[in-house]
Amino acid sequence: MIRVVVVDDSAFMRKALTTMLEKDPDIKVVATARNGAEGLTVIRQHNPDVVTLDIEMPQMDGLTALRHIMMEMPRPVLMISSLTMEGAESTLKAMELGAVDFIPKQMSRVSLEIVKIEKDLQQKVKYISRRKIRAPRTSRPSLAVKATPRVAPPVMRGRPKRDVVAIGVSTGGPPAVQKVLSKLPANFPAAILIAQHMPAAFTGPFAKRLDSVCKINVKEASGAEPIVPGTAYIAPGGKHIVLQQRGSRMEVVVKEEPADALYKPSANVLIESVAKAQGRRAVGAIFTGMGNDGLLGIRELKSRGGYILAQNDASCVVYGMPKAIVDAKLTDEIVDIDDMASALMASIYK
């Protein structure tokens, strides 16, 4: 039985989350709390496997409570976030502080749209409950100015053999992506395209946050634009990005189609387009996430000579997407997230 504590100032949300979670016979909400201070008390009392934590609460907000949880009694924390710019920025900050992932909620207290998150909520709680959580390091790069990552100078081995890196990532992704991109040097010789499963309100703030801590440039993709080495393009939530040849140049293009894709953005859509456009001159990488999005794209890229990396089980929040390509024997390397930046750098010359 997975034991959960729900912390939210809304009685409606406490009831809704409890009802949704307990529809799964393997989950039990052992206590609820109205604010961060109450939350800390009941977490100490009940020692739950997972905590769901609202951000905006009286007396003690979610970010303050999260700091206490991670310092005193680290465990998987799932943030319950509003779909607003402010909610996105606070949620990304929470993940930097140690929260594992987030579930978006509707702003209206009477909205029945909240039931749409039920399956995702249950799955995430079940997956993250299996992970051991350690308190995050206290020293983090300043978000006020671009930080200088402490990485060794890139080893130049003649001309790069690959020009594009395509990354697919989902649950637990933002901290993983930040860890990797912040270690890359400014002269990283390839463009990076990223499909992170994330709501539309989150991808812009996510790109800005990454840009503030990376030597490379990071932006949310928009329209159609030529790819530039040393730049990472984040797919906007609710849309896809693809790589297309236009004349003599390669462009990253934002698209609505396929509208029926299970995920928008889709790692499969992105990586399949990279495979067709660049073939052996591309690297495909799959990071932490539920499900198997990216498997079909990676299979296509591998068949065309692309180089394939997967995040290892030990460093994933959810070993789903990487496991799918590992089990299919499509990987050239299986890499800890702490070593992924170095692996990406080396793969450009292989």
Domains of the chain, by residue range, sit at 2-128, 164-347
Active-site residue (options: 197, 211, 273, 347): 197
- Tell me which residue of 2, 40, 254 sits closest to 127, measured CA to CA: 2
240: annotated active-site residue: no
SS3 state at 273: helix
Active-site residue (options: 170, 266, 315, 347): 170
pLDDT in tens, 78-96: 999 877 778 889 999 999 9
Buried/exposed 292-312: b ≥16 CB within 10 Å, e otherwise:
bbbbbbbbbbbeeebbbbbbb
The domains spanning 2-128 and 164-347 adopt the same CATH topology: yes
pLDDT in tens, 184-213: 999 999 999 999 999 999 999 999 999 999
To the nearest 10°, report the CA torsion of 304, 176, 52, 130.
Answer: 70
68: annotated active-site residue: no
Specify the pLDDT at position 115.
64
Specify the pLDDT at position 132.
73
- What are the residue ranges of helices labelled H in the chain? 11-22, 36-46, 62-72, 85-97, 118-128, 173-181, 200-213, 267-278, 295-303, 321-327, 340-347
Specify the pLDDT at position 136.
58
197: annotated active-site residue: yes
Going edge to edge, which strands form the sheet with 282-286?
217-220, 231-234, 191-196, 164-169, 282-286, 307-311, 333-335
Kind and range of the H or E element at 89? Answer: helix 85-97
Q: How many Cα neighbours within 13 Å face the side chain of 78?
A: 28
Q: How many Cα neighbours within 13 Å face the side chain of 262?
A: 9
Active-site residue (options: 49, 293, 315, 347): 293
Specify the pLDDT at position 311.
98
The model carries a pTM of: 0.89
- Residues 93, 109: Cα–Cα separation, whole Å: 24
- Superfamily in which the 164-347 domain is placed by CATH: Methylesterase CheB, C-terminal domain (3.40.50.180)
What's the CATH number of domain 2-128, 3.40.50.2300, 3.30.70.360, 2.70.98.60, 3.40.50.1010? 3.40.50.2300
Spans of the chain, pLDDT less than 50: 107-110, 138-154
